[in-house]
Structure 1
Amino acid sequence: MARDIRVKICGLRDAAAIEAAAQAGAAYLGFVFFAKSPRHLSIAEARTLTRQVPEGLAKVALTVNATDAELEAILAEVPLDMLQLHGKESPERVAEVRAKFGLPVMKAVGVADEADLPQLAEYGRVADQLLVDAKPPKDATLPGGNGLTFDWRLIAGRRWPVPWMLAGGLTPENVATAIQLTGARQVDVSSGVESAPGVKDPARIAAFLKAAMA
């Protein structure tokens, strides 16, 4: 019997990848607004792309320490369903963004060891969802999308006040194991379904969805 797993394909940059994600059964599509990322989109590019998203798929904007002005500029042009805060935003900032912009907010929290886990409960009190991601290395230029995993046993059986999504180094080859070890009901992938940085591979997208839901 197929698992009821909700999948987010993040860092989409072209119509073919959107179509592949939709056809394979993704629940969320992520669009990156962070200039240092190979997956970054301009507001104009994102406006065009999001208009091609089929009804019923949640369109998520990934931002990193964005100001109110930056968020306003994005939301004025791009039809979105959720904001993903992937920087060093404090719990107070998460609550502020949620109140000001009226959209559900997903907060990414990097995990490397047990000491990082209390943050999840803290952010779970102010966010609508949590993204449990691998903590980037100290010298990393990107806060996510680095293709790194963490020890999934750290979060096995744990629950937080809001729904959560597992991220960090997931691929078509390891996602079933990750779901089995963590009990995740939602998973997020970016670099794991690419043929090159920022280039999504429709075949890998389909394989990822199939493995996650098998």
Structure 2
Amino acid sequence: MAQTYHRQVALDTETTGMDIEAGNRLISIGCVEIVGRSITKRTFYKLIDPEREVEEGAAKVHGYTWDKLKGKPYFIDIVDDFLAFIKGSQLIIHNAAFDVAYLNMELARLGKGPITDYCEGVLDTLPLAKSLRPGQRVSLDALCSAYGINNTDRTLHGALIDAKLLAQVYLAMTRGQESLDISSVDMKSLPPMPDVSKLRVVKASAEEEALHLKTLQAIDKESKGNLVWKTEADTEQSAS
């Protein structure tokens, strides 16, 4: 059985560029706490002076240039508070390889161990989304749309807003996998269900119902009468 975590932290980062080998650095970290599958009001968010220029392409994504970040704390100034916030939690990250690589790089520059030394593990929601939605788009925006999560405030990428959206997306994707005991869950904190009022219901034809009954009868015969989803109507039709 997969391990369950009482405390989780949805995490996102922004950087000066995509290529870590080119010397790019973190410019922000955003974290949102999830306790018992409820999003709490506890967050962690810091802008960071990267001590280098921000690549033009990255600046267009998140809106930050080095000039805007000068005077912000360095990573060394915020690292202890960050590690204290994630302590004892499972990290929830979309495309975790990217964020973890940058976090590990920044930690290594300070002589510290990898991020997994300071948390209880990392869950990557990207492969989870791909397994749930094969062949479909699995960007954060696409997942917000699929699960009815309002992302209209996300005009640019931002570590905190993306972490908040990711927390909601994660809970929506994994709804139903938790314990059946929901007495301790704050239902107001769960993401909204998609609007199903306009769904079109297509009923089976008589031919399809007959084929369904024939299939059930074959399974019932093979299982020697132990068909678990057999209804009274199926039994009556089978006897007639």
TM over 0.5: no
Greater C-alpha radius of gyration: 2
Q: Select the structure that is richer in strand.
A: 1
Task: Output the TM-score relative to the length of structure 2.
Answer: 0.30
Q: Select the structure that is richer in helix.
A: 2
Task: Output the TM-score relative to the length of structure 1.
Answer: 0.32
